[in-house]
Amino acid sequence: MSSVYRLDSGQPKRPGIWVVRPEAEMLGKQLATKLCGDLGGLDLPLGTGNRQAFVSIFSCFPQWVMVMATGIAVRYLQPVLQHKSCDPGVVVLDEGCRFAISLIGGHEGGANLLAYQVSNLTGAVPVITTATETAKSLIIGIGCRKGVSCEQIECAVEFCLEKLCKSRADIRELATIDLKAKETALLTWCERENIALRIIPKDLVAIRPWVTQPSDWVHETLGLEGVCEPCALLAGHRTRLLLPKTSLNGVSIAVAEETGNLIR
């Protein structure tokens, strides 16, 4: 088996990534690189020995990304969990990168935000089940000029919330296109407000150009009809547009609402 990152048995602040199958080696290495984490598990056969090795260092890392089936993750975690106040945050990612599940420590361990990070890196759907987040229904789709400030984003968000008579506590996530994934003001604002940033691939926006107001500038620049409206709608599962594209000082915002799935 090819070499892997060696886990540090000290007290690192970086996340641990644990894989159980050779087929996931490349994915594990990519996650370790992008998340500045450490990768382990590949030099151990799947089974009791692999699980015991994981158990022995579980508490050494503040967060974990476990690349495996949820059932396997539950078995690995069963002997090591103590209390939500001290357990590391755990995200489970399937090898097909379909879902990034915040499994343990959604709030205290930071697993909810880690799930969004993994989602943005892999294209997986973030699965968040903590009551605080699932009660939040608003998704803010956002597009902006390069180099906008946090203050510009702040003013645009507040302006739209006031129009809807909503508060910041109603926001579940911000969603933008992958071309804006490294926009400094967006990253800073989301970190400051502790709101997740969801990255939507350009290719997905291109095949679902759900816009009420096509933008000539966006079309000429990106080859798309719009950004903020499709991003807001695509970030949820059952969404409806609550506020169409609204532009203010270089920032365009649309607000979608998750309508939920009531059993009838």
Q: Is residue 10 part of a domain?
A: no
Q: What is the CATH number of the domain that holds 35?
A: 3.40.50.11220
Tell me the per-residue pLDDT of 72-88, one tens digit each, with 9 for 90 and over. Answer: 999 999 999 999 889 99
Range of the domain at 253: 136-258
- Rg of the chain's alpha carbons, rounded to an integer? 20
**Cα–chain center distance at 46:** 28
State the Cα–Cα distance between residues 21 and 45, nearest whole angstrom: 8
Structure confidence by residue, pLDDT tens digits, 38-72: 998 877 777 778 899 999 999 999 999 999 999 99
Residue 120 placed within a domain: yes
Map residue 231 onto helix, strand or coil.
helix
Cα 241-242-248 angle, rounded to 5 deg? 100
Which has the closest alpha carbon to 19: 62, 72, 63, 59? 72
Q: Does residue 2 sit within a domain?
A: no
Q: Residue 209 has which token pair?
A: 């150009």
Average pLDDT over residues 167-188: 95
pLDDT (average), residues 145-173:
95
Contacts (Cβ under 8 Å, ≥6 apart) of 106: 89, 112, 128, 129, 130, 133
Residue 12: what pLDDT? 55
Same domain, 125 and 155: no
